[in-house]
Amino acid sequence: DCSVQRRHQKIMEEAPAIIADPKVFYQMEEAAVRLAKMVGYVSAGTVEYLYIEEEKKFYFLELNPRLQVEHPCTEMVADVNLPALQLQIAMGLPLHRIKDIRALYKEKPMES
């Protein structure tokens, strides 16, 4: 969640985002997955939205098919090594076999 910008550059990164209801975050995730499937993107990336709290709605801003400069914030919050994850996906490992992905979904790391 970007909280402060100067000249279009992020000065402060805040995480995890808490402004919206968990149901809205789930809708954002679903929309991001649909978008990635529509354009055939398979790897770690970022889908950015603008959330209007008064409307309780979010609007698509951009899809970044790369790691963002602030990816260490995501790594700290989610306890996931994003560059390693990108390499594993590029090597063809199925997502359900990748330890960090399994951890994100609260699955045991080494089970089938």
Backbone φ and ψ of 77, nearest 5°: -70, -45
| Preceding peptide of 16 cis, ω within 30° | yes
What's the first-to-final CA gap in the chain, in angstroms?
33
Q: Rounded to an integer, what is the distance from CA 13 to the centroid of its chain?
A: 14
Backbone φ and ψ of 4, nearest 5°: -140, 130
Active site members: 66
Strands 2-6, 9-13: pairing kind: antiparallel
Check residue 43 and report its DSSP letter.
S
